[in-house]
A and B are shown apart, each in its own frame.
Chain A
Amino acid sequence: MTGQLPVLQVAVPLLCAPLCVLLRSRFVAWLLFLAASLTSLTCAVWLAERVDRTGALRYAMGDWQAPYGIEFVVNGFNTPVLLLVSLSAVVAAVYSRRSVAAELDDRRVPLLYACLCLALAGLLGLSITGDVFNAFVFLEISSLSTYTMIAMGRRRQALLASFRYLVIGTIGATFLLIGIGLAYAVTGTLNMADLAQRLTGSHDNRALQAAVVFVFVGLAVKMAVFPLHAWLPAAYGEAPSAVSTFVAATGTKVAIYVFCRFAFTVFGASLVFGAMPVDRIGLLLACLGILAGSAAACFQDDLRYVLAWSSVAQVGYIVAGVSLATTAGVSGAYLHMIMHSVTKAALFAIAGVLLLRLGSVRLADLAGLGRRMPWTFAAFVVAGLGLVGVPPTAGFASKWALVTALVERDQWPVLVAMLAGSLLALVYVGRVIEVAWFREPPDGADPLRPPASMVAAIWFLVLLSLYFGIDASLPAHLADAAAAALLGKGGG
């Protein structure tokens, strides 16, 4: 049965989604989502372990060998993503039990869990597939379920946020489709490995260059790279807390992984970063994204929007690492992907707890929080410092890796932008801490106790981020393996 693991990873969440709808019980639906995420985590751990030992795994759907059928490929480059997504799902499952019950009316809860299962399946499928068109299909599964979940937010702004994300996201997906079509016109195949093989040495093909442009612009929308990030703040800021916790940790990260997969193992680094100036454009947009995202975060007066804008900036850090196209850069990018996921998930989870207990996360309403919810506040401080990159938090380890990679290639302007971004992060995290710690709580405010399951999820993430900050050997090992797998193959 272990040979079937790659498909089980995706099929189990897919199976749970219709069951959630069919059984229509809140508790059963939650249980199904928990079971689905635990199963995929188990599969992911198992797969990661096997890939580490024996190298890449391939799984042919319906026993049709690629390129005639669709194949799943598990290799060093996607095991970290699979682990990240399924771990985030487990945490979101633990967290969502109370959070969803409080934020949604009863009859919609099973639908939300069904959508969470679908989003999980979509993201996992997107990470594991070895076929470009199949990637498009999984991308649409995850996107459509995400739009639906965002629209379930409490305020009416959630509707417009979801609609705009739907329009921008669909344009992005259609761009991806155009790019895939152009690449298909040049090669006649959709399998990633086959594409890579047939594309070697056709750098001057103009249709292929256009394909690169379309695929990357389409993915950039999903990654929320700087000028295409407009959908992100409202989408993350308005979604139900459990959803933003899960999606903020995974959505853009998986898109970045797909970007790397296309850049290094399909089109090839020599075309993307040699013949075409993707590296320079990537670095430029990364810098702009870091500065614009961090600056915008400083001016928000809603905690969830602060966090969402900071995500735009963090995507910039990761893109900068990838755009270096060096082993150190890609490894740093993966490391930052992992660290930032953990940190940002923790922060959105904290925002959800505050929303539940205070009814609002506008900065003005957070006054005196440090005394009313000391433990939650402490978690926020640790995770917030992780966002800034203060040692010994997770953010420090990954930013250090990125800085080393930048110095290695003498990219000083990017380095300056990153430092400025970190300083701005200090400002926006500091603003929240200032309000929460130094301002007086409103009269008659009692200490508040958040639900235990939510606290457990938050502290798991916070402690994990502290642990990774002190001993980064596990994520660093995964990131190095990923970089090696990506750069080792696509050299041609």
Chain B
Amino acid sequence: MSVIEVLSGVLLAAGALAVLTGGVGMLRFPDFYTRIHAAGITDSAGAGLILLGLLLRVDSWDTAVRLLIILLFLALTGPTATHILAHAARRDGVPMWREGDRRQ
């Protein structure tokens, strides 16, 4: 097993872990704002790490370029979506959870 393969494996595992964390967070976090934070992790850290891991394993240039483009677009759209969702929620007065409140 070459170094690159090991590295790729580590990245993939880390990505999978990030996705899993995001999923758990979605279920466990108490309010909209914290949950959206968890959701953000899945498509920035999770998908990003997995794509990087895959990038180390490709055998042809055109696949690599495509993966890079996907990575670029994810980096651009994911945070924008999260940002705008949080803004919209605040505009609509979605309440923020504070220590001691009941979970929604």
Q: Do A and B touch, yes or no (CB under 8 Å, in the complex)?
A: no
Q: Please report A residues at the B interface, Cβ cutoff 8 Å.
A: none
